[in-house]
Structure 1
Amino acid sequence: MTVSTDDIVRHAARLLYSGTRLDLGRMAAELGISRTTFFRRVGNRDDLMGAGLRLLSDRTWQRALDHWHEQHGDAVRAPEGRLRCLWVMEEYRREVAGNEGMRKLIEAESTVALRVLTDPRGAVQPALVDAHVELFRADAEAAGLTPLVGLPDLAFAVVRLGESFLYSDVLAARTVDLTVATTLLDTLVRGALEPTAAG
């Protein structure tokens, strides 16, 4: 059986999710391919970690969207008036913060993990910014809102601020406080998308 790049990335994602360190030599052996083939398919360890974390991030984001749809269908607002994007963002952060594999990775390899997670030219952060832009655009159109700033700028600010809270224990020796993160990020997004309501 041919082992594809996607097979390797999925294997890496499973290991990261379970909190297992990525050992590329061991992974190659587990998949039954040579180290040369392994590296040719996925690049170096940072590259593979980025691809695996991107896959996990994409899946987490999609689960948050699916949970919204299960509860509220195609509505752009919850019954209390909260925009869908705010709910999805909060759900995403809660899942990431609560994932034991992610916490183990950051505790064991904080420098590498944070570099991979927050690299603006890497696999994870740009994709997450794009996902936010897409959701902000969909919500703004469905709710008839006129954003005060460009959606890519808003999405970048939200993702960067979200990172500073999700990884605050490592970045700033502060306790991760998702309640404060939600308050600040909701205020930021509502101020850009719903200035009248936010005021």
Structure 2
Amino acid sequence: MNPSAEDIVRAAARWIDRGVRVDTSAFAQDLGISRSTLFRRVGNREDLLGDALYYLSERTLTAAARTWEREEGDVVRNAAGELRCLAIMREYRSVLAASAGFRRFLDDEPVLAIRLLTDPDGRVQPRVIAAHVELLRRDVDAGGFEPSVGLDSLCYAIVRLGEAFLYSDVLASRTPDLDAASTLLGALVEGRVPSKTL
């Protein structure tokens, strides 16, 4: 077996998803390559973990978008009036929060996990923000809403606020409240608090 960099990242994502610590020696051995080959192809452990975490994030966001398409079709708002991008983001956060493997990584290596997930120059956050820009741009182009600020700034705020709630147990010893996150993000995106919360 001669795995490519993409194969290696996907394999690391599977280890994280299963709740297995990605030890580079054991991981390289499992792939049938040397540690030096592993490092040449994907960088050090933090580089590998960052790429694997983004892979999991991208896969989760894509699956959430597919769920919307399967259930709602190509509409911008569902029958309840929820904006497509907000519903997809809500599903995305919910799936990540429920992932036992992801939670185990956060619990076992909290300092490393938060650094990898929230580093503005890292391998995860900038790409997650870019993916959110594309997600929201689709709704803007379809006439779903008009943002008060540029999409780059809006999506930066969305991702940072989402992180604050999704990782609140690690960041602030608070139980994650995904419903509050959804309400606040809805207000941020649409410029109003939904009437059901008043």
**TM-score normalised to structure 1 length:** 0.94
1:178-189 equivalences in 2 (<5 Å): 178-189=178-189
Residue deviations 1:40-85 (CA, integer Å, cap 9, x gap):
1111111000011011000000000000000111111101221101
1:17 matched to which residue of 2? 17
Matched, 1:149 2:149: yes
* Paired residues for 1:16-55 under 5 Å: 16-55=16-55
Equivalenced residues, count = 195
The equivalent of 2:72 in structure 1 is 72
Partner Cα distance (1:13, 1:144) in 2: 34
Q: Secondary structure at the match of 1:143?
A: coil
AA partner of residue 86 (structure 2): L
Q: C-alpha distance in 1, partners of 2:30/2:145? A: 51
Long gaps (5+) in structure 1: none
Q: Which shows bigger deviation, 154-163 or 25-34?
A: 25-34
Name whichever of 52-61 and 1-10 sits farther off.
1-10
Q: Write the letter of the residue equivalent to 1:103.
A: R
Query: In structure 2, what residue type is equivalent to 1:134?
Result: E
Distance 1:156 1:2 in 2: 38
Identity %: 53
Moved segments of 4+, more than 6 Å: none
What's the CA shift for 1:122?
A: 1.3
Query: Which amino acid in structure 2 is aligned with residue 21 of structure 1?
Result: R
Give the letter for the 1:10 counterpart.
R
Matches within 5 A, 1:80-99: 80-99=80-99
Letter in 1 for 2:21: R
**Following the alignment from structure 2 to structure 1, what is the Cα–Cα distance between the partners of residues 38 and 141?**
44
Distance 1:161 1:67 in 2: 23
Unaligned ranges ≥5, structure 2: none
RMSD (Å) for aligned C-alpha atoms: 1.5
What is residue 175 of structure 1 aligned with on the other side?
175
Matched position secondary structure for 2:12 = helix
| Residues 124 and 106 of structure 1, relative CA distance in 2, 3 Å threshold | same
3-state SS in 1 of match to 2:142: helix
